[in-house]
Every structure is written in C-alpha cells, then in structure tokens.
Structure 1
Amino acid sequence: MFFAFIDLALDDQAQELRAYLKSLGAEISTEKSPKGIEDDLHKIIGVCDTCFKDVPEQDIESVLNGIVSMLVTIPPERAENLVLAFSEKLTKATGQNLKMITLRVMWLLYQSLDESSPMRYHVYFHLVQIARSVDQMKHVFKDVNHLKSQFASCPPSNEQMQKLLRLLHEALLASKNSEQASKVMVELLGTYTTENASQAREDAQRCILAALADPKTFLLDPLLALKPVRFLEGELIHDLLSVFVSEKLSSYQQFYQNHKEFVNGLGLNHEQNMKKMRLLTFMQLAEGNPEMTFQKLQEELQLKPEEVEPFIIDVLKTRLVRARMDQSAQKVHISSTMHRTFGQPQWLQLRDILLSWKQNVVGVQEGMGAIVKPKIEPKK
C-alpha cells in the first residue's frame, strides 16, 4: 500500500493515517479528533512506530513523510511538542534500513522548517543522532562555519550549542573524522568565558586527549590559549599537553617514566605518543637546522641506523616539512617546515618575510616600468 497525500486535505490525511495504523494493530481510533488536527497528529505520532515492523519500506517512508507534511503546517508556537515527539520516535528506530529511512525523513523535516524556526535546532540534534548510528555524518555536517550559518536566523542558546557541539564531536570521532572533530571541540571550548571556564573541565580534558591521540594533529599550540584549557594549568594533563606543544622526545620520555600510570589511564597509546613526538621533535630541529646528519637524527630521535630513512620518508608524507634526503652524504636538507608554535617570534619573522617580498615586488615594478616606459625624444 503506497500513500500519496498531496491532493488530500489535512483532516483526510489524518483519517487515512489513523485507519492504516489501526490496521497494523495500533491502539488508535479511526475517528477524527474533535479537538482538531493537532490532537490528531499527537495521537498519530504516538503510534507511528507501529509501521516499523513487517511493512514495506516504501510504505514506511510514505507514512512518515505524510506526518512531516502535516507537521509543517502547524504554527511554530504550537508545533514544538509534536516535532519533539516525532523526532524522538524516529531516533528509536532500529535496523540499518529503517534508520536510513528515518534519516531521510528527518532531513526532509529539517529542510521543510522555516530558517527562523527554533525547532530547527532540535530536529538537527536528532538528525545527528541518527546519522551517527548509520555512519552518515558526512551528509549532515560540513564544517563549523556551515553549522553556524544554519542557525543564523534563530541562534540556539549557549547551553544548547554546547550540547550540540559535544554530540557532534562524539559523532565525528566515531566516523573517524578526527580533523573536524578537533575543530568542533575547539569551537565548544570557545563558548566558555573566564567566568564559567571552570565548568568546562571535562570538555577541556576531552579536547586535549583527542588532539594528542589524533595522528594528524600537530599544531597544538592554539589549545593553550583556550580559557578552559588554561584553567587546567598546574595539572598533569596540562603538563603533558605542554610537552607535546614545545618539548622534545626526551622530555616526553621523562614525563612518561614519572607518570606512566597517568598516561596509560588516559587511554593514550605510548608507542603512538613516541611516534608523534619524534615527528614534532624533527619539526623543531628543522626550524633552526637547514641541514642535519643522519647521526644527529639517530641521537635526537633515538632511532636505529636502519630506521632513519623510513622515518624521513614518513615525515615527508605528512607534508609538515619540505626536505631532500641525501643518502650518499647521510644528510637531510630542509627547505621549509611548519612551526610547532606560532607566537610573537614567528609573527615577527612572517612580517620580515612579507616586507622583503613587498620590497622585491616594488623593485620589479620599477624595473619593468623603466623598460616599457617610452623614451622621450629631445626637441630639436
């Protein structure tokens, strides 16, 4: 049985849905509610999950889309409870195929709501929950800026946004999108102020752990400037972050020896930490050494002779450093490297580079002008 509600009045749609759901065993009357369409919808939504079992997928989606078509006609100020009840019903669906149906229906509902509707936030929150369960986050989340633009006409409260960002962070990590997850967590920590930074303790720790564990995150310095992270100063988690921000491999090893149980208790992998610290240490060495011998790398990074070349190849794959390996001379020639920290010295260096570039451009322009400027013939 396939439903087409386009040409039916709301009352008729409601009556058809009542009759169909009752035929499936739902405890619902086939009679219209004397209280009107909103009460009809309330009762229909209450039993709409009856169609989740032993019903063709096409019919399930048609029934749920029919409910959406009625929901969007209800004035926003009276639709909140109905939308929330419907969203919660859909998030409780089980099974991959059924969840994919509810994901499409929730997306239709989200897209059908006016941009100024406060219900868009609640629908999107449930939409993320469903997308996470079926590994479809790429279809509902693009990036932080796009997310904020979605709610520009009706921004959620700060508490609501924090709740959504926490959910997004967990969902993105589950979908192995650690880069976006890290950006979402930084956005979350940015929602706290000096006055309430102490309340963000758990979020700050989660942010630090996610950044340290992510094999693709190397620029950790910005985390230290976040107010909730600064609130952790003096604690071991902050000390560990500081090691990854600016210290060398030997400092991490010392920290690990002194606090082995703490590091392991965080769920961090020591061998992965060592690998990351070797890369970070190499970057730091490359900042002040345009040329390094294999022997120096062995000593600084505690590598065996046969491990040096594979390590350099791994570094080049990250594109953190531009370099050329000279096997015959047992050296590495550094062209450029990403800075581990970007403070005042790096800004001054960047300023000098830009000033030099500007002067060179001016010189080129003047030189070209002298070449192409027509010579003025002297008057006879």
Structure 2
Amino acid sequence: MQGPAIFMDISLEDQAQELRKYFKSLGAEISEEKSPKGIEDDLHKIVGVCDVCLKETNENEIEAILNSIVSIMVSIPLERGENLIVAFSQRLGKSPGPKVGLIALQSLWRLYNNLEANSPLRYHVYYHVIELAARVGAVKDVFSGVEHLKKEFSSCPPSNEQMQKLYRLLHQVLKDHNSELASKVMIELLGTYTDENASYAREDAIKCIVTALADPNTFLLDPLLSLKPVRFLEGELIYDLLTIFVSEKLSSYLTFYENHKEFVQSQGLNHEQNVKKMRILSFMQMAESNPEITFDEMITELQIDEKNVEAFIIEVLKTKLVRARMDQAARTVRVTSTMHRTFGPAQWQQLRSVLLAWRANVHQAHESMKSVAAAQLEYTAQQQKA
C-alpha cells in the first residue's frame, strides 16, 4: 500500500473550514466557523466527527475527505499529536464494512508514511494500521516480517513495552492465517524480556510454544529452549511437551498424550497433527545415525501401516529436512543428509571436525597448485634457455 497525502490549493485554515462545513452538512455536531484557537483546535474538532463520513455511499468522496484530513495533519506541528493521532485512528478503525474499511486503511497508511521517520507518533499510527488491516484482511499489505518492521522504526525505536504490545497484536492477527510468521513474531517478543522480567512473560512463552508446535512447517524447535521466558516454564507440562518435540521420539509423545489428553486439547493442539509432526521429527533422528533405514524399522519405530510407508517418505522429502533416496525393491531409504533436531556440543564438535577437514583439504589443494605453478615456471625457464 502506498500513496502520498493529497494537498488542496487553499490554505490549511480554509481547508479546515471546508471540512467543518462538509461534516455539518452530514448532521455532525460541529460548527462551520473556524476556531479562534487555531488550526490545531480545528483539527481536533474535525477528527471528533470524522467517522460520520464513513456512513456515506460515495467511496471516492470518503477517500477525498479522509485524505484532506491527513494532509492537514502532516502539515502542522502537533504539540498534542499523540491524542489526535490515536483518536483519528480509533475512529477509522470503526469503519462499517470491508470496502470503507479498506479506504480508511489507505488513508491511515498515508498518514503513517508522511510522518517524519524520527516521529514517535509513527508507532501509534502503525499499531492502529495493523488493527484495521486485520479487520479488512490486508495485514500482508502492511506487514512483511520482523526485520522489515525493525527497519521501519530504526530512526525512532519505540519503547520495549510498546514493541511488546505491537508484537502481541501481530501474533494475534497472524496466528490463524500465517502460523510460521506468527511464531517468528512471538519469538521476537520473548527476546525482548530480560533476566529481571522473564518470569512475567509466562503467557507469552506458552503462546510461543503452542504456536510453534501447531505450525506444520516448523520442525526445528531447539532454539525455543534458550529463550529466558521459556526456561522459566521448566517443570510445567507445556515445557515437558516442548522437550519431547525437541529431542524425543514418537513413543514419548504418545505416552505423554495418554497421560495428559485434556491438557493437550486445552492448548488448542490437534493430536493427529502432533503425531504427524513427531513422525517426521523421529525419522530425522533415525536418519542422523542411520544412513540406511528399512521399511520395517519405520513401521515399528514410527507406528505406520506398511501401505503408508512410501507416502510418508515422500512427505518427509518434501520438507527438505532430509535428503534421501527410496529403494522400493530393497524396502529401504538411503539417507544422504539430514538436518539436526538439536544443535548441542556434539553437533558443534562434528561441525568443527568438518571445517577442520575442509581447511586441510583447501591447504593441500593450495600446496598442490603451488607445486604445479613452480614446475610450470621451471619448465618455461628451461625452454627459454634452450
């Protein structure tokens, strides 16, 4: 969404008076006369009744009126700007219907983009932009990811509390439509807590875990255990469930579910989806230490019917977490590489060994090339002497 504010070829005071007359004609409780206190007071009066135009049927007229209000807002110094911005945003947020709501969103988005990059008011506008975008189904048009969001506020970073509030809102509006992005937002939220206040983030931490477990595309869950608010949940059932998904096998999950069915259901988690994810995670764990896995091993370990083994293997390969070839005749899967479910000291040691071997090979290749180059130079010198 984009577009500059629209400016009329008349003074701000005259523009404000025209808006007063327009809203008066719609039956709004506002005087047609200019305020003796100046343009800022005019704007406060106009914002107080601006939602009256949202009931009109002429969408072009609604857009023109809202853009006129925005053009005045970005043209004057706002000493009490925060209250004015919040009031304007809240009234636009009550837009009746998706079409009018989208027009209101576009006007609010123009306001956001026309405020100075270092203005603290941009945060307040953006928060209400997300609220309204969620109502009209346009969140993807105004939010593309956490990194982009950080760049948007790099010139004037909001307070930690403000960002926590925004991350919670984003998680709420994303969780039912984009669980992967919602999970990233929640992880970012948990990262804003420190050792001092991590214990107060219990609800956020639980939401983060549940979102990650429920996301069908999230398999590497080990990083969650390093988040301070998540560590404060140690000893609770949600933490135990997370550790199962991080490092244990399907059998552990099934045992947990048998003992805590009501808990799993109370978190809004789907048992069948959990089993599906745990099968893939368990297969990854098998692949870490077994370059060749038989169908019989999968049937036993993953509790899959024989008729479903090949379909399961294809599903695993689609995730790109494991690279392998299936040999139907030999009833085996030959693994070439796999992602690690956890990355602890053992994995770091393995990576170190791989890098050392790579460095040694590069050094050997370099020395070989030096020898070849020296021999070539010697041969050339001999030819010249001859």
For residues 31 and 47 of structure 1, what CA distance do their matches in structure 2 show? 15
Paired position in structure 2 for 1:107: 109
Residue from 142, 158, 161 that aligns with 1:159: 161
Where in structure 1 are there 5+ consecutive unaligned residues?
none
Paired position in structure 1 for 2:120: 118
Cα displacement (A) at 1:344: 1.4
Paired position in structure 1 for 2:257: 256
Identity %: 63
Paired position in structure 2 for 1:331: 332
For residues 98 and 266 of structure 2, what CA distance do their matches in structure 1 show? 34
Paired position in structure 2 for 1:8: 10
Any idea what the Cα deviations from partners look like across 1:277-313, whole Å, max 9, x if unmatched? 0000000000000001100010000111111111001
Paired position in structure 1 for 2:88: 86
* 1:218-257 equivalent positions in 2, closer than 5 A: 218-257=219-258
Deviation larger for 149-158 or 296-305: 149-158
Alpha-carbon contact 1:286-1:334 (below 8 Å) kept:
yes
For residues 375 and 193 of structure 1, what CA distance do their matches in structure 2 show? 63
Residue from 55, 72, 83 that aligns with 1:70: 72
Counterpart amino acid of 1:101? I
Deviation larger for 127-136 or 205-214: 127-136
For residues 182 and 140 of structure 1, what CA distance do their matches in structure 2 show? 18
Alpha-carbon contact 2:299-2:305 (below 8 Å) kept:
yes
- SS of the residue 1:145 aligns to: helix
- Return the TM-score normalized by structure 2: 0.95
For residues 362 and 141 of structure 2, what CA distance do their matches in structure 1 show? 45
Paired position in structure 2 for 1:198: 199
Paired position in structure 2 for 1:269: 270
Alpha-carbon contact 1:115-1:153 (below 8 Å) kept:
yes
Paired position in structure 2 for 1:310: 311
Alpha-carbon contact 1:179-1:216 (below 8 Å) kept:
yes
For residues 223 and 95 of structure 1, what CA distance do their matches in structure 2 show? 40
Where in structure 2 are there 5+ consecutive unaligned residues?
1-5
Cα displacement (A) at 1:207: 0.4
For residues 272 and 314 of structure 2, what CA distance do their matches in structure 1 show? 19
For residues 268 and 81 of structure 2, what CA distance do their matches in structure 1 show? 44
- SS of the residue 2:333 aligns to: strand
Any idea what the Cα deviations from partners look like across 1:76-108, whole Å, max 9, x if unmatched? 433222111111111111201011101111110
Counterpart amino acid of 1:87? S
Paired position in structure 1 for 2:3: none
For residues 364 and 77 of structure 1, what CA distance do their matches in structure 2 show? 68
For residues 180 and 267 of structure 2, what CA distance do their matches in structure 1 show? 20
- SS of the residue 1:334 aligns to: strand
- Return the TM-score normalized by structure 1: 0.96
Alpha-carbon contact 1:76-1:117 (below 8 Å) kept:
no
Cα displacement (A) at 1:72: 1.1
Paired position in structure 2 for 1:211: 212
Output the aligned Cα RMSD. Answer: 1.5
- SS of the residue 2:377 aligns to: coil
Counterpart amino acid of 1:270? H
For residues 359 and 8 of structure 2, what CA distance do their matches in structure 1 show? 64
Residue from 9, 16, 19 that aligns with 1:17: 19
